[in-house]
């Protein structure tokens, strides 16, 4: 998979932003000040699809945040994808967060799963089990396994993933996007040392979530 460059606006947002600007400009031409709400909508679309570059931190043992947002879960669970005990760390993205998803580790994708589902509020724990989701199984160089799951939200209707089995990703490499509110779940080895707490605000690639042992 080729590295995706970092323009100011994510490529996924170009059609939406173009339509919003055309509509706002047309309403301005015909209705003047009545166009203000349409320009506000265009501004919202612009901020939602922003895609800033990020500095990559850590080392080969580091697990970086795959998304911008807030930590809403840290708990021991059963990884439903690899059928093993794991530590689950969940990042909730609201509509004001950057929605590009980036690789949390250096590793090879062993398998990818897609599961159709509901669209309940991604801030709720049941979203991990009931919502539409896309999961990637990463294997790090030392053989440790990480599962990274994109989960659709209440108004999210499209999960985009550009990585397939066999791809080798580096920490911070952009691999996907979720439109309009969502979450990302990480299932880590039980020996991982968690570096964040519930409620922490995190930034993709810039925030260290955990260290592998």
Of 9-18, 55-64, 76-85, 158-167, the one with minimum mean pLDDT is 9-18
pTM given for the model: 0.83
Report, as residue numbers or ranges, the catalytic residues: 182
What does the pLDDT look like over 148-205, one tens digit per residue?
A: 999 986 665 678 899 999 999 999 999 999 877 688 999 999 999 999 999 999 999 9
Structure confidence at residue 189 (pLDDT)? 97
Cα distance between residue 81 and residue 68, in whole Å: 23
Contact in structure between 69 and 182 (CB atoms under 8 Å): no
The SS3 call for residue 132 is coil
Give the position of tokens 């159709």: 116
Mean pLDDT, rounded, for 18-24 = 92
64 compared with 125, residue with greater pLDDT:
64
The SS3 call for residue 97 is coil
Q: At what angle do helices 36-48 and 14-31 cross, to 10 degrees?
A: 170
Q: Alpha carbon 170 to chain centroid distance?
A: 16
User: What single-letter DSSP state applies at residue 16?
Assistant: H
Structure confidence at residue 2 (pLDDT)? 44
Mean pLDDT, rounded, for 52-79 = 93
Cα distance between residue 127 and residue 58, in whole Å: 30
Contact in structure between 167 and 2 (CB atoms under 8 Å): no
What does the pLDDT look like over 82-94, one tens digit per residue?
A: 999 999 999 999 8
Structure confidence at residue 113 (pLDDT)? 95
Tokens of 93: 């993205």
User: What single-letter DSSP state applies at residue 118?
Assistant: B
Provide the pLDDT confidence category of residue 1 given band limits of 50, 70 and 90. Answer: very low
| 157-174 exposure pattern, b = at least 16 Cβ within 10 A, e = fewer | eebbbebeeebebebbbb
Give the Å distances, CA to CA, from 163 to 8, 102, 167, 200, 213: 22, 11, 6, 28, 26
Nearest to 171 by CA among 109, 106, 110: 106
The strand pair at 201-202 and 69-79 is best described as: antiparallel
List strands edge to edge, sheet with 133-140.
Answer: 168-169, 107-115, 133-140, 145-152, 182-188, 84-93, 69-79, 201-202
Structure confidence at residue 191 (pLDDT)? 96
Cα distance between residue 166 and residue 162, in whole Å: 12
What does the pLDDT look like over 97-156, one tens digit per residue?
A: 988 899 999 999 999 999 886 655 555 566 566 678 899 999 999 999 999 999 986 665
């Amino acid at each position: 998979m080729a590295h995706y460059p970092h323009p100011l606006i994510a490529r996924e947002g170009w059609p939406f932003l173009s339509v919003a600007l055309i509509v706002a400009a047309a309403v301005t031409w015909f209705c003047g000040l009545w166009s203000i709400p349409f320009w506000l909508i265009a501004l919202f679309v612009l901020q939602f699809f922003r895609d800033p570059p990020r500095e990559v931190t850590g080392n080969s043992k580091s697990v970086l945040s795959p998304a911008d947002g807030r930590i809403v879960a840290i708990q021991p669970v059963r990884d439903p994808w690899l059928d093993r005990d794991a530590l689950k760390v969940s990042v909730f993205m609201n509509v004001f967060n950057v929605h590009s998803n980036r690789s949390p580790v250096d590793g090879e994708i062993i398998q990818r799963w897609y599961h159709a589902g509901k669209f309940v509020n991604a801030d709720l724990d049941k979203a991990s089990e009931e919502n539409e989701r896309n999961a990637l199984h990463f294997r790090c160089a030392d053989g440790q396994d990480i599962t990274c799951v994109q989960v659709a939200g209440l108004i999210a209707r499209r999960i985009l993933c550009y990585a397939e089995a066999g791809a080798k990703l580096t920490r911070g490499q952009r691999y996907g996007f979720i439109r309009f509110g969502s979450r990302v779940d990480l299932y880590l080895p039980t020996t991982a040392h968690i570096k964040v707490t519930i409620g922490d605000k995190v930034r993709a690639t810039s925030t260290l979530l955990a260290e592998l042992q």
